[in-house]
């Protein structure tokens, strides 16, 4: 069957196809911009949650297991696969500080996002086990080693269940620093 390629119906089809092909970049741009907003909102939420936990470890705010757990859960909810998925699409989006290195080093980025989730889970579990006080078992111990700069190898995540919550917290912060050092574009 032959289709008549002229006339008003053909013009409408061509207009519709043209609109779809020009809308596709706009839709992709909207998705990328939404991902930038979500990643920035998530980063702000994680930073606020980390400040909450940090205050409790430093003693500048009273230990509250519910607030500690909520902060850890906030970090957990914005890390891991969720964080990785926000950077699966185009990295170069307006307002983004993400480096194109994420695309080139996807496995390293995904590992950092997963590590962040594991450390957050450790903190959440510590709050469950310590409902009344920030116990000595939650705090850094003499055997907890913190070495190296932001790109140094950290203790294996496999060892997280045996480390203190404070040690997991510091490794979590180091993971954030490592990720930003490697995958965030610096403002000039």
The string of pLDDT tens digits covering residues 131-161 is: 999 999 999 876 555 544 444 444 445 578 8
Q: How far lies 92's CA from each of 7, 28, 95, in Å?
A: 42, 11, 9
- 89-117 burial code (b ≥16 CB/10 A, e <16): ebbebeebebbeebeeeeeebbebbbbbb
Residue 105 confidence class, pLDDT cut points 50, 70, 90:
very high
Judge whether 1 lies within some domain: no
Contact 80, 113 (CB under 8 A): yes
Residue 168 confidence class, pLDDT cut points 50, 70, 90:
very high
Question: How far is residue 80's CA from residue 46's CA, in Å, rounded to a whole number?
Answer: 13
Among residues 76, 100, 105, 93, the alpha carbon closest in space to that of 37 is found at: 93
Contact 180, 116 (CB under 8 A): no
Residue 164 confidence class, pLDDT cut points 50, 70, 90:
very high
Q: How many domains does the chain have?
A: 1
Judge whether 13 lies within some domain: no
Q: Residue 74: give its domain's CATH number.
A: 1.20.120.10
Residue 77 confidence class, pLDDT cut points 50, 70, 90:
very high
User: 25 is written with which tokens?
Assistant: 């970049």
Question: How far is residue 179's CA from residue 40's CA, in Å, rounded to a whole number?
Answer: 14
Judge whether 8 lies within some domain: no
Average pLDDT score over residue span 29-37? 70
Numbers of helices and strands, H then E, in the chain:
6, 0
Judge whether 16 lies within some domain: no
pTM for the full model?
0.76
Place of tokens 């596709």: 24
Residues in the chain: 188
Domain that holds residue 99: 25-183
Question: How far is residue 84's CA from residue 113's CA, in Å, rounded to a whole number?
Answer: 6
């Amino acid at each position: 069957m032959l289709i008549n390629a002229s006339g008003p119906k053909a013009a409408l089809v061509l207009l519709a196809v043209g609109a779809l092909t020009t809308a596709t970049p706009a839709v992709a741009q909207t998705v990328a911009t939404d991902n930038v907003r979500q990643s920035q909102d998530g980063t702000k939420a994680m930073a606020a949650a980390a400040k909450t936990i940090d205050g409790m470890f430093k003693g500048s705010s009273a230990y509250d297991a519910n607030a500690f757990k909520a902060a850890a859960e906030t970090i957990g909810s914005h890390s891991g696969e969720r964080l990785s998925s926000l950077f699966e699409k185009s990295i170069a989006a307006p307002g983004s500080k993400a480096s194109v290195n994420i695309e080139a080093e996807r496995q390293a980025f995904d590992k950092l996002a997963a590590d962040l989730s594991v450390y957050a889970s450790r903190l959440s579990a510590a709050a469950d086990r310590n409902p009344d006080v920030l116990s000595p078992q939650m705090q850094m111990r003499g055997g907890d080693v913190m070495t190296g700069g932001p790109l140094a190898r950290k203790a294996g995540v496999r060892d997280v269940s045996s480390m203190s919550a404070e040690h997991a917290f510091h490794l979590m912060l180091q993971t954030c620093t490592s990720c930003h050092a490697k995958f965030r574009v610096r403002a000039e």
